[in-house]
């Protein structure tokens, strides 16, 4: 998803919040500038540090969230595909995945914190195809959920799991057993824009003749340089965006935020440890698709059911793209923007769109800098999100095809959820609407009321009778 045109020409007056990173000359100290200075000190005059890469603001957020998690859990992005049983050659798939990882720096890197500085540590491609053993009575989805829940954040950033489904559901009673393939990535090395490329290239590597082929000489080093250049260009854009005016804008915009999700209902249960709840529906498409501000307003309706009226709920959504002039490398470049979703009677969709375009004018300010500006202005908001919205176009990601056999993309619901709730919208010939929630903090009845409100808000308007 790209940021689009520059947006509104309206201007506002903001006051730089006192205490926000001022030095003795009254200059604003950019969080990105501080990060780059620490990274340069870390890697100065050390030839071995070539394998330590800087991270974007988006990656920094994922690494820091992991470091603050009591269990050290990583955010992962899984894709699930169903193939006819026995059509996948696990060794051939493993070789294809390793070649894929060898071609992309991010996929053969692991997030790390070295002397307090978040980095990516580049290594050799290391991808395995694991067949987790089901426990007695487990369905394939249960086995996959358990495998993802045991993800070791210190391991490879790309992993593949394969589970046999011997008992098709009633809708497929006439079909034979299937293999469910899970391609899973650490979110710190991959954003939504990389998924289509990963799926397409994994299929191409699997179908390529000569499973022992290797990248051309010099290709991995050239790609590493391209990746490093792309990250440095992104950090330069973030550094330019961190102005006193942007800090003032975000501190004013988000000053009223609170985190409204209640504490976990069960003592001793960490956030996200319980299986997540889920609901989904397919709706008729709107002419031209639902504008993004309309999606934000729909999420506002859901938040009202969850948290009550007259609240200002922090709703996050990914936005951005590769920096201008950068190679289209696989990686994590989408910033998380924050929308203050007021759950009372709002000023209307036009005002939502107006404010949202203003937000996009400051979309390059990294999340941690926004949170720091808001806290420095006296807000109690710590950077937590009550909801997350992601949007996709169903034409963007091709199906995974392995040697001419096309997999059917499926969903494995019920996975643990880090935040209170998340909404995903896929737009195309129809709207595929999904919502997941953390059962440790939101009960199912409230979640289903919120999903109903979300669905009502996104149903296409009735066409006038002829």
Lowest pLDDT segment from 210-224, 246-260, 364-378:
210-224
Top CATH class, 242-458: alpha beta
What is this structure's pTM?
0.87
Question: What angle (nearest 5°) sits at the alpha carbon of residue 56, between those of residues 77 and 327?
Answer: 85
280 within 8 A of 411, measured Cβ to Cβ: yes
Q: How confident is the model at residue 3 (pLDDT cuts 50, 70, 90)?
A: very low
DSSP state at residue 108: G
Whether residue 265 is predicted with pLDDT greater than 60 in this model: the reply is no
Packed helices 444-458 and 292-307: angle between N→C axes, nearest 10 degrees: 150
389 within 8 A of 336, measured Cβ to Cβ: no
Task: Report phi then psi at 167, rounded to 5.
Answer: -125, 90
For the chain, domain boundaries = 31-232, 242-458
346-379, pLDDT tens digit by residue? 667 889 999 999 999 999 999 999 999 999 999 9
Nearest to 211 by CA among 129, 107, 127, 97: 97
Residue 11 confidence (pLDDT) = 35
* CATH number of the structural domain 31-232: 3.30.559.10
Averaged pLDDT score across all residues of the chain: 86
Lowest pLDDT segment from 34-48, 121-135, 266-280, 285-299:
266-280
Lowest pLDDT segment from 41-50, 296-305, 312-321, 404-413:
41-50
Write down the residue that tokens 């963007």 correspond to: 396
Question: What value does the mean pLDDT take over residues 16-24?
Answer: 36
| Paired residues of 118 in beta bridges | 113
Q: Do domains 31-232 and 242-458 have the same CATH topology?
A: yes
Q: How confident is the model at residue 276 (pLDDT cuts 50, 70, 90)?
A: confident
């Amino acid at each position: 998803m790209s940021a689009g045109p520059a947006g509104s020409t309206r201007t506002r007056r903001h006051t730089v919040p006192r205490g926000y990173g001022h030095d003795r000359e009254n200059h604003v100290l950019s969080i990105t500038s501080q990060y780059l200075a620490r990274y340069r000190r870390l890697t100065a005059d050390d030839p071995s540090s070539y394998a330590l890469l800087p991270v974007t603001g988006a990656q920094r957020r994922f690494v820091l969230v992991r470091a603050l998690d009591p269990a050290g859990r990583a955010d992962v992005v899984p894709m699930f595909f169903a193939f006819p049983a026995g059509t996948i050659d696990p060794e051939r798939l493993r070789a294809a995945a390793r070649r894929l990882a060898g071609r992309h720096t991010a996929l053969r890197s692991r997030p790390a914190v070295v002397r307090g500085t978040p980095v990516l540590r580049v290594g050799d491609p290391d991808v395995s195809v694991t067949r987790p053993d089901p426990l007695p009575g487990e369905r394939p989805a249960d086995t996959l959920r358990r495998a993802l829940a045991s993800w070791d954040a210190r391991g490879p950033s790309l992993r593949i799991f394969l589970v046999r489904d011997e008992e098709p559901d009633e809708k497929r009673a006439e079909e034979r057993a299937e293999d469910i393939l899970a391609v899973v990535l650490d979110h710190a090395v991959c954003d939504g824009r990389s998924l289509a490329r990963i799926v397409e290239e994994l299929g191409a590597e699997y179908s390529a003749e000569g499973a022992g082929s290797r990248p051309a000489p010099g290709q991995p080093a050239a790609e590493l340089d391209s990746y490093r250049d792309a990250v440095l260009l992104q950090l330069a854009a973030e550094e330019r965006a961190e102005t006193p005016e942007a800090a003032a804008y975000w501190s004013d915009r988000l000053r009223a935020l609170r985190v409204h999700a209640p504490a976990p209902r069960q003592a001793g249960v960490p956030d996200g440890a319980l299986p997540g709840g889920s609901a989904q529906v397919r709706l008729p498409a709107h002419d031209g698709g639902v504008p993004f501000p309309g999606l934000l307003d729909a999420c506002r309706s859901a938040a009202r059911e969850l948290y009550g009226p007259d609240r200002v709920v922090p709703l996050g959504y990914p936005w951005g793209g590769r920096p201008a002039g950068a190679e289209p490398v696989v990686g994590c470049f989408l910033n998380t923007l924050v929308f203050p979703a007021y759950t009372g009677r709002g000023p209307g969709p036009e005002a939502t769109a107006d404010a949202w375009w203003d937000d996009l004018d400051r979309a390059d300010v990294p999340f941690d800098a926004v949170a720091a500006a808001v806290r420095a202005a006296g807000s109690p908001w710590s950077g937590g999100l009550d909801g997350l919205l992601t949007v996709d176009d169903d034409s963007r990601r091709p199906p995974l095809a392995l040697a001419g056999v096309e997999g059917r993309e499926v969903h494995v619901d019920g996975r643990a959820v880090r935040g209170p709730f998340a909404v995903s919208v896929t737009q195309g010939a129809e709207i595929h609407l999904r919502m997941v929630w953390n059962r440790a903090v939101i009960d199912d009845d409230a979640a289903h009321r919120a999903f109903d409100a979300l669905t009502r808000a996104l149903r296409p308007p009735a066409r006038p009778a002829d």
